[in-house]
Structure 1
Amino acid sequence: MSDSSGAEEQQLLKLRDKIDSLDLDIQKLISERARCAQEVAEVKMKSSHAENVVFYRPEREAQVLTRVMERNEGPLANEDMARLFREIMSACLALEQPLKVAYLGPEGTFTQQAALKHFGSRVITRPMPAIDEVFREVEAGAVNYGVVPIENSTEGVVNHTLDSFLSSNVFISGEVELRIHQHLMIGPNTRLDNITRVYSHQQSLAQCRKWLDAHMPLAERVAVSSNSEAAKRVHSEWNSAAIAGSMAAELYDLQLVYEKIEDHPDNSTRFLIVGKNRSKPSGRDKTSIIVSMKNEPGALYSLLKPFDDHEIDMTRLETRPSSHGNWTYVFFIDFIGHMEDDNVQAAMRDIREKAVEIKELGSYPEAVL
């Protein structure tokens, strides 16, 4: 062994020893944090006499993750550091009470991926066949929270979710933004040179239209109920492919042959977390409301003016047909701020003077991850 290689080996040994020592310190601190979480659970149980104990606080978790990212000095990226803490928090919360989360299924969908991104891997996820079923599970108390898609950056709003809010009494307690990457995948028996059919959800097919036109113009495009259903079908067929996310490929043991084939590389979907409790202010919040206005000239102006008067940033405005009569509509509005903010309360007072009804869907922390 040369002197240079021997010196290199000694240097590596020292670095490995340092890593081992750091790992020991990190492990001890994580265990100490977990014991603190257990003590928090005990205090909550005693103070509420074990009735209706709320272990998960969306605003508290958002504040923790925001601080993690603000004080991060690298070399890990802010989101990578936050995801590590997200998993630590998920494991600690599971010591208090494992959360049950319903999502638009089946297993392997982007909605399940969003649920795991928001809550961490230690939650118990339950797939539901439809968006309104997610709402019903939350209202019935069968799960703690639900996760539903609300809008895609290229395909627009998810009307089924908006319509479910009209008849539901749940509150929005958080949001998740998920970058959507679509992949073409095949099963173990697929002949890549003889693909005649491509399965996917109709939105995914739309998001990959240009790629399919250029690379598989003769293949039949078959819309199915979900990307997971597409992946499941392809597993046993020899002449078909599926467009889905990587989670579905892992679940059904498929091979990714073309990755990130979406037409828009910044394609993303926003999901909402729904629950039965209101969230307290986190410092960086959004609020969602439904407003029913009188069907009269200037109604839209009367609705929008208070937001300008009180310097409130509106981030989304959607209209849907009202269930109370033909040719009447309700407005779904998202804006920056919390219902407890003074300027928001002032704007709501002004809107109530002209509105038939205002339904508060919830104030909740802006997406951190």
Structure 2
Amino acid sequence: MRDLNDIRVEIDQVDKEILKLFTHRMELACQVAEYKIATGKKVYDKVREDEKLEKLSSYVDDGFSQQAVKELYTQIMSISRKKQFSILRANGINFDSGFQQVDDFDFSEATVCFQGVQGAYSQLAMLAFFDDEMKSSFHVDLWRDAMEAISRGEADYAVLPIENSLAGSIEENFDLLSEYNVAIIGEQILKVDHALLGVKGAKISDIKTVYSHPKAIAQCDEYIRTQHIDWDVKNLRNTAMSAQKIHDDGDITQAAIGSTYNAFLYDLEILEEAIQDDKNNETRFVIVSKDKKYRKNADKISLCLEISHKPGSLYRILSNLMFNGINMNRIESRPIKGVNWQYRFFIDIDGNLNDEAVRNALTGLKEECVSLRVLGNY
């Protein structure tokens, strides 16, 4: 048996040779980039890379080594592409996000719409974000109606809930963001305290039926399951709409789950406060607009992208972020309608569209994704 130190010395020598060859390969990649700039060819050539991976893996016999060779060269070719993308950027070949940078937004003449009736959490998020700056606001029945209002120019901005810290994502609104040509210009995190609301004079012991939005019900699941399993729980489109129903029906056996603001708004009794399972319950709302603009100090970017349905595709795409030192703080997948088992990804990253690293990464993503869209920088 050979001495371990001797083996390590030989490994070090081999690594030096590998690094020497890797450096030479990267120099050749730079020459490839120069050729592609001159000829207008795309950096990412999937057919060429697939053929090369098959050829290289055929040089070894066992299955483990074949897979290892594919993984190794997939990584090497990914690094080469990132280098080529940076050269393209240095030569003025940029990714056009379609967004315009502004110093700040002027909301003084803005009309804002939100989903639900008066007192909805979306309205509370709107008031928190716009404060007293906006000119007017109105509410609509459905989230899609809010997007339509933006598209038709009836509203300048719309407020959409996108995720909750307890119940997770609002999937429908991710689909709407991909469907409508709108931009996210801001976000508002709203602490959500759910209360049990009944008509004046009602007691918890009177309650038999409870109404609320499905997400609000899910956020109070433990409270209902462990303390009030006999309640008949029914879904409505909005928490405020549920409170309005309780007021209109005047039935002592009915209650709603909603904000304490709804008790004031609809003259209801607060039967119990903070009934949500997670006392740190928060909902993230996004503010969308038809105008694609971003503040110069924006530091978060939301992307929507589709990738090929192949092994390693997501890793290859995300390596554009890794090699440019960009932090990804969220990823969400949604099925693509009409295409079984293929998915659209929503990704949030740190950065500004004017950052050099971000532009490099987006240049790479544009080449390697089936489709890429910047949803907003805020």
Under a length normalisation based on structure 1, what TM-score does the superposition of the two structures give? 0.70
For 2:234, what is the secondary structure of its paired residue? strand
Matched with 1:104 is 115
- The question of 1:126 aligning with 2:120 is answered no
- The question of whether the paired residues in 1 share the 8 Å contact of 2:190 and 2:282 is answered with yes
- The question of whether the paired residues in 2 share the 8 Å contact of 1:281 and 1:338 is answered with no
- The question of whether the paired residues in 2 share the 8 Å contact of 1:58 and 1:174 is answered with no
Matched with 1:84 is none
Distance in structure 2 (CA, Å) of the matches to 1:282 and 1:204: 36
For 2:291, what is the secondary structure of its paired residue? coil
Matched with 1:277 is 291
RMSD: 1.9
Structure 1 residues 179 and 59 mapped into 2: Cα distance closer, same or farther (>3 Å)?
farther
- The question of 1:359 aligning with 2:373 is answered yes
Structure 1 residues 152 and 192 mapped into 2: Cα distance closer, same or farther (>3 Å)?
closer
Distance in structure 2 (CA, Å) of the matches to 1:325 and 1:220: 38
Structure 1 residues 269 and 58 mapped into 2: Cα distance closer, same or farther (>3 Å)?
farther
Matched with 1:45 is none
- The question of whether the paired residues in 2 share the 8 Å contact of 1:59 and 1:279 is answered with no
Distance in structure 2 (CA, Å) of the matches to 1:151 and 1:232: 24
User: Which amino acid counterpart does residue 184 of structure 1 have in structure 2?
Assistant: L
Larger gyration radius, structure 1 or structure 2: 2
Q: Once the 2 structures are TM-superposed, how far is the Cα of residue 220 of structure 1 from its aligned partner?
A: 1.6
Identity among equivalent pairs (%): 30
User: Which amino acid counterpart does residue 209 of structure 1 have in structure 2?
Assistant: D
Q: Once the 2 structures are TM-superposed, how far is the Cα of residue 217 of structure 1 from its aligned partner?
A: 2.7
Using the TM superposition, name which of 280-289 and 102-111 deviates more.
Answer: 280-289
- The question of whether the paired residues in 2 share the 8 Å contact of 1:177 and 1:269 is answered with yes
Deviations, residues 216-271 of structure 1 (Å, cap 9, x unaligned): 23222122221112212222111111110122212211111211111101110000
1:89-168 to structure 2, matched below 5 A, reads 94=108, 97=109, 99-121=110-132, 123=134, 124-168=136-180
Matched with 1:216 is 228
Deviations, residues 166-186 of structure 1 (Å, cap 9, x unaligned): 221111100000000001111
For 1:280, what is the secondary structure of its paired residue? strand
For 1:277, what is the secondary structure of its paired residue? coil
Distance in structure 1 (CA, Å) of the matches to 2:330 and 2:199: 41
Distance in structure 1 (CA, Å) of the matches to 2:205 and 2:178: 48
- The question of 1:178 aligning with 2:190 is answered yes
Aligned residues: 275
Matched with 1:60 is 104
Distance in structure 1 (CA, Å) of the matches to 2:222 and 2:339: 41
Deviations, residues 82-134 of structure 1 (Å, cap 9, x unaligned): xxxxxxx9xxx64xx2x210111122110111011000145322111111111
Q: Which of 314, 326, 344 matches 1:312?
A: 326
Distance in structure 1 (CA, Å) of the matches to 2:302 and 2:241: 32
- The question of whether the paired residues in 2 share the 8 Å contact of 1:150 and 1:162 is answered with yes
Q: Once the 2 structures are TM-superposed, how far is the Cα of residue 189 of structure 1 from its aligned partner?
A: 5.1
Matched with 1:255 is 269
- The question of whether the paired residues in 2 share the 8 Å contact of 1:303 and 1:351 is answered with yes
- The question of whether the paired residues in 2 share the 8 Å contact of 1:173 and 1:275 is answered with yes
- The question of whether the paired residues in 1 share the 8 Å contact of 2:203 and 2:271 is answered with no
- The question of whether the paired residues in 2 share the 8 Å contact of 1:189 and 1:237 is answered with no
Gaps spanning 5+ residues in structure 2: where? 1-100
- The question of whether the paired residues in 1 share the 8 Å contact of 2:114 and 2:158 is answered with yes
For 1:60, what is the secondary structure of its paired residue? coil
Q: Once the 2 structures are TM-superposed, how far is the Cα of residue 204 of structure 1 from its aligned partner?
A: 1.2
Distance in structure 2 (CA, Å) of the matches to 1:360 and 1:321: 19
User: Which amino acid counterpart does residue 348 of structure 1 have in structure 2?
Assistant: L
Distance in structure 2 (CA, Å) of the matches to 1:241 and 1:59: 47
Gaps spanning 5+ residues in structure 1: where? 1-56, 62-88, 365-369
Matched with 1:195 is 207
Structure 1 residues 58 and 206 mapped into 2: Cα distance closer, same or farther (>3 Å)?
farther
Deviations, residues 255-294 of structure 1 (Å, cap 9, x unaligned): 1121111110111000000002233344342111111112
For 1:353, what is the secondary structure of its paired residue? helix
Structure 1 residues 221 and 356 mapped into 2: Cα distance closer, same or farther (>3 Å)?
same
